[in-house]
Amino acid sequence: MASEIQFNGPGTGLNCYALIRNRTGAIWNGTAFETYATANYSTYSITATEQGTASNHYAATFPSTIAAGIYSVTAKQRTGGSVAETDTTIAVGDVHWNGSASLPLSDLTTSGQLGQYMPMRVFRGSMVQSFPFQLVSSADHVTPLTSGVISGQISRDGAAFTSLQSGLVIAGYSEIGLGFYSVNLTSGDLLANTIALTFSAVGISGGGADRRSFVFVTQRTSGQTV
Q: Express each pLDDT in 139-174 by its tens digit.
A: 888 888 888 888 888 888 888 888 887 654 445 678
What is the DSSP secondary-structure string of 32-78?
SEE---GGGGGGT-EEEEESTTT--EEEEPPPTTSPSEEEEEEEEE-
Claim to verify: residue 143 and residue 213 sit in the same structural domain:
yes
Which stretches of the chain drop beneath a pLDDT of 50? 105-106, 108-118, 168-170, 222-225
Task: Look at residue 135 in the predicted model and tell me its pLDDT.
Answer: 86
Task: Look at residue 220 in the predicted model and tell me its pLDDT.
Answer: 65
Q: Are 62 and 5 in contact (CB under 8 A)?
A: yes
The residue segments making up the domain with residue 182 are 108-217
Task: Look at residue 166 in the predicted model and tell me its pLDDT.
Answer: 65
Residue where one domain finishes, among candidates 97, 128, 147: 97
Task: Look at residue 37 in the predicted model and tell me its pLDDT.
Answer: 96
Residue where one domain finishes, among candidates 51, 75, 97: 97
Partners of 97 in the beta sheet?
Answer: 69, 102
Task: Look at residue 105 in the predicted model and tell me its pLDDT.
Answer: 46
Claim to verify: residue 86 and residue 120 sit in the same structural domain:
no
Claim to verify: residue 34 and residue 128 sit in the same structural domain:
no
| Residue 87 belongs to domain with CATH number | 2.60.40
Claim to verify: residue 61 and residue 137 sit in the same structural domain:
no
Task: Look at residue 206 in the predicted model and tell me its pLDDT.
Answer: 73
Claim to verify: residue 118 and residue 211 sit in the same structural domain:
yes
Q: Are 196 and 215 in contact (CB under 8 A)?
A: yes
Residue 222 lies in a domain: no
Claim to verify: residue 92 and residue 162 sit in the same structural domain:
no
Task: Look at residue 179 in the predicted model and tell me its pLDDT.
Answer: 85
Claim to verify: residue 159 and residue 187 sit in the same structural domain:
yes
Task: Look at residue 30 in the predicted model and tell me its pLDDT.
Answer: 96
Task: Look at residue 106 in the predicted model and tell me its pLDDT.
Answer: 45
Half-sphere exposure of 2 (CA within 13 A, CB side): 6
Residue where one domain finishes, among candidates 76, 97, 118: 97
Claim to verify: residue 113 and residue 207 sit in the same structural domain:
yes
Count of structural domains, the chain: 2
Residue 103 lies in a domain: no
**Pairing state of beta strands 212-217 and 162-163?**
unpaired
Claim to verify: residue 211 and residue 118 sit in the same structural domain:
yes
Residue 226 lies in a domain: no
Residue-wise pLDDT tens digits, 65-95: 998 788 899 999 999 999 999 999 999 988 8
Residue 225 lies in a domain: no
Claim to verify: residue 92 and residue 155 sit in the same structural domain:
no
Residue 63 lies in a domain: yes
Claim to verify: residue 147 and residue 194 sit in the same structural domain:
yes
Claim to verify: residue 30 and residue 59 sit in the same structural domain:
yes
Residue 131 lies in a domain: yes
Residue 102 lies in a domain: no
- Report the alpha-carbon distance of residue 46 to residue 75 in Å, rounded: 9
Residue 183 lies in a domain: yes
